[in-house]
Amino acid sequence: MSTAPTASEAAAPAWGRGTENQRRANLGDGTYRNPVLGGDYPDPTVLRVGDRYYLTFSSFESSPAIVLLRSDNLVDWEPVGPVCPEPWGSVFAMDLVEHDDRYFLYIPFMPTSWSRVTEPTIAVMWAEDIEGEWSGPIDLGIRGYIDPGHAVGEDGRRYLFLNGVDRVRLTDGGLATDGPVEHVYDGWHYPEDWVVEAYSLEGPKHVERGGWHYLVSAVGGTAGPATGHMIIVARSRSIDGPWENMPGNPLLRCTDPAQPWWSRGHGTLLEGPGGQWYVIYHAYEKGAQGLGRQVLLEPVDWTEDGWPVARGGELSEPLPLPGGGTARRPHGLALSDDFAAPCWGLRWTFDQPAADETDRADFSGQGLVLSGKGDGPATSSPMTVRAPDRSYRVEAGIELLDGAACTAGLLLFFNHRLFLGLELREGALQAWTGGTRTWSLEMLPDGTRHLELAIDKREGVVDMHYRVPGAPSWTHYPLTLECSGYHANTVNDLVSLRPAVFAAGDGRARITDFRYEALVEEPQA
């Protein structure tokens, strides 16, 4: 699949720059609120480089893959760019590390419809400059595992911990294995009466402090019940164990579904600005699970006997901004797009793409000309963007270039089984909900091929609108929908509800002026 330009090459219109979830993180008064990254950024891995921090996350079927972000305070993040132009498959939870002045990404690639791998495969990429060009991937020959976590032992040797928790030794250069995979840790087992999805020992991350090797892992299942996912800690004086479980396990967990953040897990423990330690991890927001796994940041203190204690509580109150002060860095990348240039990975991702999916998209003229695929939204591999807000509005111009040969439209898309939105066909506008066509069909003047479409999502309530380009007002589509159930627990798919555009059939559609804006509810008097 084709390579993305840099963020500057794909600069978007100012409309839609910044979102309510992003604005609410750094409050500008010396405190912050979670999430520090609103929207679906699962399995975050974070590395400190001098006084700056870098983060990446599971990019799944995005191609280019592995979007790198940077921050000076762990709260305000901005994108650097995709690292992997041509991923081998769906990218699961990685580990971003530095060793001997070189940077490494240990990556699990999973089979997809277009992948070059047929089973879970762990590979490595590396760079001399973390913001420069990355080399690889190189296949490490590790099959059937996910969630690599890099470690250096007291013997100076390098290792990868794997889900399970198993471990394999690496060569000194870190680009090959040096021995067999072996089982090294059974995990901490929660009480039998806790309500969890499954045990699922995964996500092992290694950190050294005070002569101890700490292993930070996740158990309890990623989605499922609100109280399932959690972070556990073990330590040893030796990289070879034995591993002692923390008496106060788990480090953190949602203990009551009434709390604002559910399924809290998969964390990285690191030292932040001013020497304060933090754990950065993902969780679902109560009442907004469709946003996916958002990134949370929680301060960590250390007991006198060397165990970490998370002190964010249920995260309903503001927390001190790391490093103090009130400085902000511009947030993220604008989601609005005039389609002057492609922005794959950073902004747009095809759902269930083929190897050559980006060849369908032509940016050479006015707007985006997208060739049709499939026979409707479900089979069309829609182009999706990651939504960071509970409430927002999206708009796009949709023009059918080949008449009845093509349909196209604007969606809120979870996956090919669950979506809603509007589909323009010549002379008619069709509504979809729950992944199926509805009884509602708006007839348009004969030959109508060009409309502007809009979707307003206010929490779980969705209204849709349309107008002829240039018309002074919008027409409300006579159907109001509800989407609060569009999330992972409904259809067993660890993605998020995303704004999307699509083209289906044998023809082409022109898509123009995609706009995203957070909807901020005015406080009642």
Segment 488-495 shows an average pLDDT of 94
Q: What is the pLDDT of residues 333-373, one digit of tens each?
A: 789 999 999 998 889 999 988 888 999 999 998 999 999 99
The confidence score (pLDDT) of residue 321 equals 93
Burial pattern 115-131, b for ≥16 Cβ within 10 A else e, equals bebeebbbbbbbbeebe
The confidence score (pLDDT) of residue 93 equals 97
Q: What is the mean pLDDT of the chain?
A: 92
Are residues 380 and 316 part of one domain? Answer: no
Task: Give every strand in the sheet of 450-458, ordered side by side.
Answer: 361-362, 368-371, 508-518, 392-400, 450-458, 461-467, 475-482
Domain membership of residue 467 (yes or no) is yes
Token pair of 16 as six digits: 């839609």
DSSP string covering 307-318 = -EEE--TTS-S-
> Which of 161, 68, 16 has its CA nearest to residue 517?
16
Instruction: Give the model's confidence band at 28: pLDDT under 50 very low, under 70 low, under 90 confident, else very high.
Output: confident
Domain extent, residue 462, equals 349-518
Are residues 362 and 310 part of one domain? Answer: no
Among 320, 339, 370, the domain boundary falls at 320
- With a CB cutoff of 8 Å and minimum separation 6, the contacts of 304 are none
Q: Which of 21-30, 142-151, 198-207 has the lowest mean pLDDT?
A: 21-30
Full 3-state SS string of 413-439: EEECCEEEEEEEECCEEEEEECCEEEE
Among 276, 302, 320, the domain boundary falls at 320
Domain membership of residue 32 (yes or no) is yes
> Which of 431, 421, 345 has its CA nearest to residue 385?
345
Q: What is the pLDDT of residues 99-124, one digit of tens each?
A: 999 999 999 999 988 888 999 999 99
Instruction: Give the model's confidence band at 1: pLDDT under 50 very low, under 70 low, under 90 confident, else very high.
Output: very low
Q: Which of 25-39, 41-55, 287-301, 502-516 has the lowest mean pLDDT?
A: 25-39
Kindly report the CATH number assigned to the domain that includes residue 60: 2.115.10.20
The confidence score (pLDDT) of residue 24 equals 60
The confidence score (pLDDT) of residue 364 equals 93
Domain membership of residue 454 (yes or no) is yes
| CA atoms of 203 and 186, how far apart (whole Å) | 13
Kindly report the CATH number assigned to the domain that includes residue 406: 2.60.120.200
> Which of 55, 27, 123, 439 has its CA nearest to residue 282?
55
Asked whether the predicted pLDDT for residue 3 surpasses 90, the reply is: no
Token pair of 15 as six digits: 């409309």
Are residues 308 and 188 part of one domain? Answer: yes
Asked whether the predicted pLDDT for residue 19 surpasses 60, the reply is: no
Are residues 255 and 128 part of one domain? Answer: yes
- With a CB cutoff of 8 Å and minimum separation 6, the contacts of 493 are 414, 415, 417
The confidence score (pLDDT) of residue 114 equals 84
Segment 186-195 shows an average pLDDT of 97
| CA atoms of 145 and 110, how far apart (whole Å) | 10
Task: Tell me the percentage of the chain whose pLDDT exceeds 90.
Answer: 86
Are residues 313 and 171 part of one domain? Answer: yes
CA-to-CA separations, 277 to 215, 227, 244, 323, 325, in angstroms, rounded = 15, 25, 21, 11, 17
Instruction: Give the model's confidence band at 327: pLDDT under 50 very low, under 70 low, under 90 confident, else very high.
Output: low
| Total Cβ atoms within 10 A of residue 410 | 28
Q: Which of 306-310, 481-485, 493-497, 517-521 has the lowest mean pLDDT?
A: 517-521
What is the three-class DSSP state of 66?
A: strand
Q: Which of 8-22, 81-95, 409-423 has the lowest mean pLDDT?
A: 8-22
Are residues 355 and 260 part of one domain? Answer: no
| Total Cβ atoms within 10 A of residue 177 | 17
Asked whether the predicted pLDDT for residue 127 surpasses 50, the reply is: yes
Are residues 370 and 297 part of one domain? Answer: no
Instruction: Give the model's confidence band at 13: pLDDT under 50 very low, under 70 low, under 90 confident, else very high.
Output: very low
Domain membership of residue 9 (yes or no) is no
Domain membership of residue 14 (yes or no) is no
Are residues 358 and 274 part of one domain? Answer: no
| CA atoms of 289 and 261, how far apart (whole Å) | 10
> Which of 353, 265, 332 has its CA nearest to residue 12?
332
Are residues 284 and 178 part of one domain? Answer: yes
Contact between 392 and 516 under an 8 Å Cβ cutoff? The reply is yes
Domain membership of residue 338 (yes or no) is no
| CA atoms of 283 and 364, how far apart (whole Å) | 40
What is the three-class DSSP state of 244?
A: strand
Domain membership of residue 10 (yes or no) is no
The confidence score (pLDDT) of residue 198 equals 96
64 cis-preceded (ω within 30 degrees of 0)? yes
The confidence score (pLDDT) of residue 10 equals 35
Residue bearing tokens 């390098």: 158
| CA atoms of 211 and 306, how far apart (whole Å) | 10
The confidence score (pLDDT) of residue 331 equals 55
Are residues 375 and 256 part of one domain? Answer: no
Asked whether the predicted pLDDT for residue 386 surpasses 60, the reply is: yes
The confidence score (pLDDT) of residue 420 equals 98
Contact between 426 and 400 under an 8 Å Cβ cutoff? The reply is yes
Asked whether the predicted pLDDT for residue 525 surpasses 60, the reply is: no
Among 320, 340, 373, the domain boundary falls at 320
Segment 372-382 shows an average pLDDT of 97
Are residues 384 and 285 part of one domain? Answer: no
Asked whether the predicted pLDDT for residue 46 surpasses 50, the reply is: yes
Task: Tell me the percentage of the chain whose pLDDT exceeds 70.
Answer: 93
| CA atoms of 458 and 403, how far apart (whole Å) | 33
Segment 481-485 shows an average pLDDT of 97
The confidence score (pLDDT) of residue 332 equals 63
Contact between 75 and 36 under an 8 Å Cβ cutoff? The reply is yes
Contact between 268 and 280 under an 8 Å Cβ cutoff? The reply is yes
Residue bearing tokens 């008097």: 525
Are residues 360 and 230 part of one domain? Answer: no
With vertex at residue 373, the alpha carbon angle to CA 368 and CA 375, rounded to the nearest 5 degrees, is: 130
| CA atoms of 63 and 84, how far apart (whole Å) | 8
Contact between 283 and 254 under an 8 Å Cβ cutoff? The reply is yes
Asked whether the predicted pLDDT for residue 244 surpasses 70, the reply is: yes
Indicate the helix (H) or strand (E) that contains 488.
Answer: helix 488-491
Asked whether the predicted pLDDT for residue 326 surpasses 90, the reply is: no
Asked whether the predicted pLDDT for residue 20 surpasses 60, the reply is: no
Domain count, the chain: 2
The confidence score (pLDDT) of residue 21 equals 45
Q: Taking the CA atoms of the chain, what radius of gyration do you get in angstroms?
A: 23
- Give the phi and the psi of residue 376 in degrees, each rounded to 5: 175, -175
The confidence score (pLDDT) of residue 16 equals 37
Asked whether the predicted pLDDT for residue 12 surpasses 80, the reply is: no
Asked whether the predicted pLDDT for residue 521 surpasses 70, the reply is: no
Domain membership of residue 268 (yes or no) is yes
